[in-house]
Amino acid sequence: MKENKRVVLHQHICSRLTKTYRDKNSDYGNSFVKVREEFPNAILIRLSDKLNRLKTFRYCNYSKDGFGNEITVIKPCYLDEGTRSYLIWARACEAAEKHYFWMLEYGCTPQEARAVLPNSLKTEIIMTANLREWRHFLKVRTAKNAHPQIRELAVPLLRELQELLPTIFDDIVL
């Protein structure tokens, strides 16, 4: 009986998604005709909220249920190794890692324990968008006043797209 309810729920969700897709294509054009690219990259959790603001993008945030026996962090591009700021950041990451594993030991789920992890935690995402959405993302996130870490992701992406599709992306100036 439970299986039938799941099938009915799945069919309902698929029907709603299909309607949303048709409505969007009616308003904005057929997205399957447009070129779609997927770019898996490492990105900081803090930056994923900036990507969330671009509601037309579709992306998946891949996280494992656990990290094995260590977490992976990405050093912010604006911290130089050996400086006082870097050492404070590194110690904070180590402390967060220790507290994460303690929370797991005391019965928290990985999802609950993640609340103590740093913004510098490595997260892999896949973003998919049409060309218009990529252009907007790249104009906003390669701008000089964009956050340095999103620029660190967006600038190489823009350069790659300018090589692949120059007529579409060459007018975006760094």
DSSP H helix total and E strand total for the chain = 7, 3
The CATH architecture to which 34-169 belongs is 2-Layer Sandwich (3.30)
3-state secondary structure of 115: helix
Predicted local confidence at residue 127, as pLDDT: 78
Calculate mean pLDDT across residues 147-163.
Answer: 91
| Band of pLDDT at residue 124, cut at 50, 70 and 90 | confident
The answer to whether residue 62 scores a pLDDT higher than 90 is no
Q: Return the domain boundaries, the chain.
A: 1-30, 34-169
| Band of pLDDT at residue 3, cut at 50, 70 and 90 | low
Percent of the chain predicted with pLDDT > 70: 68
Cβ 98 vs Cβ 69: under 8 Å:
no
43-58 per-position pLDDT tens digit: 334 445 455 554 445 5
Amino acid, single-letter form, for residue 88: I
